[in-house]
Structure 1
Amino acid sequence: MSVFISGATGFVAQHIINQLLEQNFKVIGSVRSQAKADKLLRQFNSNKNLSLEVVEDISNLAAFDEVFSKHGKEIKYVLHTSSPFFTECDDYEKDLLIPALNGTKGILNSILKYAADNVERVVITSSIAAMFDFTRDLDPSYFYDENSWNPDSYQEALTDGGHAYNGSKKFAERYAWNFVQEHKNEIKFKLTTVNPCYVFGPQLFDENVTAKLNTSCELINKLLHLSAGDAVDNFFVGNFVDVRDVAKAHLLGFENQNLVDKRLLLISSRFNAQDILDIMNEDFKTLEGQLPAGVPHTGALHQWKGAIADNSKTKELLGFEFIPLKKTIDDMVTQILRKEKRL
């Protein structure tokens, strides 16, 4: 039996595929073009357990029909990772809300039509954005956990890119949970959602290190390319989790019976620019004097007075320690400097 993963060329998805192949699963992935398929197959050394199908536009509600009509009888697990992740766009509804929602609608209805008796588990990559009110992130009286939901309405999600992205994750995940309840007598599968925060970590392949990285990792990349005289902007603060832990959670999401019907809030720790720069300045002597110093050891890792996130239930269910910020940044920076021939 096979695992199907949508959005196979994504940052998180590549790490998931790598872990699946290491465990000898047969993997069928979707990509947006044949060129992307060819590149990914080459990167995985034409692994016999990996095959790819082209799904050009997940906004099309029938986008996954061909895949599941062709492979439905061999797919046991479905990992839906494909969804837009950006906030700068011209049309919030067209570019963010509709693709996220229709991608989830489409894949679940394709399972219902072609693989209702075969697919046993579905894991959807949602986001912390579906769980909390980001306008209250700096409010120390605000608490959220695995049971929380972003309060934005659809209309509020159309106001700006941040609300649009957060809304896209909320509405897509809400649809999935409602779908399972509505069709519980017609489908075999059980649902788990993985809700990560900012996902940092090395690219799976060095050649994917480019001048501009994917949305989360670009935050680190920008800091690495600051100059010593630049100001340290600590207004931006957030939660992080390592990409390798996110991938591991997806596998456990279909392997572990205790994760059925669970939302997994993936947070390793808080961070801000000061925390990242502290690690870079302390661990990389080749960068000495090149980066801003700021005020060392005063970042969000050391003092945080904002919203309180509690993901203790998730940690207990997953049963492994999350990779700390120091290792994640060390691994990322090492890879970037190696690619830039600065090591």
Structure 2
Amino acid sequence: MSENKNPLVLVTGGSGFIAVHIILKLLQKGFHVRTTLRTMSRQDEVKAMLKSGGVTNFSGLSFIQTDLSSDKNWGEAVKGAEYVIHVASPTPNKIYKNENEMIQPAREGVLRVLSAARDADVKRVVLTSAFGAIGVGHHNHKGPFTEEDWSNINAKIHPYQKSKTIAEQSAWEFIRKEGNGLELAAVNPVGVMGPILGNDYSHSNDSVRRMLEGKLKYVPKIYSDYVDVRDVADLHILAMLRPEANGERFIASSSENISMLEVANILKKHLGDDAINVPKGELPNILVRMLAIFNPKLRMIASLLGLDMSTSNQKAKRILGWRPRSAEESIAATGKSMLKIMKGQMK
């Protein structure tokens, strides 16, 4: 494909928390963006979120209706695009009957996108993967996870994490066997925090909301790494543009391993009286595991108890010059923007 002054980038799943921030950065940098939606009625919602982020000119933005479970419109979606950033995937909030309800759409979806990109002579696809494809199912792992690690899909892990692992592995296999020169890079975020621009936000953000609302009186003893969504967006664009990113995975993390109780304490520090309802204590692991038997939403949380989920961000720093914000700054930004949503002040 010829080099364009303002190349077109296809971003899948345009209404999502990470995708909106990627679109925001791309538009600010002068790229043309086409984004996919399962429901075209969400166009105004996406524009409203982008407006909250500072975008005032939407002339470089267009929408197309697609679904990961169907071939319809994918050829048209990638037409003329120099790059594809594939963000769309089933989310961990879904109450599932069978794990294949998450795994199959994620795997088939990524293969559908890669096939269409290859056939349209797209230069590079950047896949939004997850920490769930790197550091899950290793109960005796010590020390930070790196991009060399893969989750153990033969262990008893949550279907969302399994879906991310299988989808990414399938993507790399496709590139090796059927890519015909199509380039691929993957970004693997940990818990994503940062400014919320609308009502579509991450699982990690939702935990902050529940803390602020007082719905979480106590928190499980889970230690996680976090990353700001603005830095995740930056890393996707670096992975898209930098030649040395081809064929590589990059963990998106501030590399600070903190507990959920520490997250609550950060909210108290930055939000004052608005954080009066945040948790002040932790639940015993045995109680969380017992509750998870009866509450499907707790099963992924229970599977993470007692695990070392620390990560290294050295590869993205070394190869791409990426410099993420601190976990504290990201969590504070989540809390402040979540309060605006809760108070109905988000414009």
Match of 2:313 in 1: 311
CA–CA separation in structure 2 for the residues paired with 1:337 and 1:80: 30
SS in 1 for 2:225: strand
CA–CA separation in structure 2 for the residues paired with 1:180 and 1:168: 18
1:59 correspondence with 2:75: no
Query: CA-to-partner distance for each residue in 1:204-260, whole Å, 9 max, x for gaps?
Result: x2xx248xx532211111112227xx7532423222111111100110011111211
CA–CA separation in structure 1 for the residues paired with 2:268 and 2:83: 43
- Give the gaps of 5 or more residues in structure 1: 296-303
SS in 2 for 1:310: coil
Which amino acid in the other structure matches residue 161 of structure 2? N
Once the 2 structures are TM-superposed, how far is the Cα of residue 341 of structure 1 from its aligned partner? Answer: 3.7
Which amino acid in the other structure matches residue 59 of structure 1? S
Once the 2 structures are TM-superposed, how far is the Cα of residue 318 of structure 1 from its aligned partner? Answer: 2.9
SS in 2 for 1:193: strand
Q: Residues 305 and 96 from structure 1, CA distance in 2 versus in 1: closer, same or farther, beyond 3 angstroms?
A: closer
Q: Residues 75 and 292 from structure 1, CA distance in 2 versus in 1: closer, same or farther, beyond 3 angstroms?
A: closer
Once the 2 structures are TM-superposed, how far is the Cα of residue 306 of structure 1 from its aligned partner? Answer: 3.2
Match of 1:281 in 2: 268
Whether the 8 Å contact between 1:131 and 1:144 is mirrored in structure 2 is yes
Query: CA-to-partner distance for each residue in 1:72-109, whole Å, 9 max, x for gaps?
Result: 2x210010001012154233344200110011010111
Match of 2:299 in 1: none
Match of 1:75 in 2: 81
Q: How does 1:160-199 map to 2 (within 5 A)?
A: 162-184=157-179, 186-187=180-181, 189-199=182-192
Whether the 8 Å contact between 1:193 and 1:264 is mirrored in structure 2 is yes
Question: Over aligned residue pairs, what C-alpha RMSD do you find?
Answer: 2.6
Which amino acid in the other structure matches residue 95 of structure 1? E
Match of 1:339 in 2: 341
Which amino acid in the other structure matches residue 58 of structure 2? N
TM-score by length of 1: 0.82
Query: CA-to-partner distance for each residue in 1:312-340, whole Å, 9 max, x for gaps?
Result: 22222231321112211221221222333
Residue 12 of structure 1, aligned match among 18, 22, 28: 18
Match of 1:202 in 2: 195
Whether the 8 Å contact between 2:217 and 2:278 is mirrored in structure 1 is no
Match of 1:124 in 2: 127
Query: CA-to-partner distance for each residue in 1:97-127, whole Å, 9 max, x for gaps?
Result: 01100110101111233x13xx111100011
- Give the gaps of 5 or more residues in structure 2: 1-6, 51-55, 283-305
Which amino acid in the other structure matches residue 207 of structure 2? L
Whether the 8 Å contact between 1:121 and 1:190 is mirrored in structure 2 is yes
Instruction: Report the more deviating stretch, 17-26 or 78-87.
Output: 78-87
Whether the 8 Å contact between 1:100 and 1:169 is mirrored in structure 2 is yes
Once the 2 structures are TM-superposed, how far is the Cα of residue 272 of structure 1 from its aligned partner? Answer: 1.8
TM-score by length of 2: 0.81
Instruction: Report the more deviating stretch, 276-285 or 239-248.
Output: 276-285
Q: Residues 197 and 292 from structure 1, CA distance in 2 versus in 1: closer, same or farther, beyond 3 angstroms?
A: closer
Match of 2:142 in 1: 141
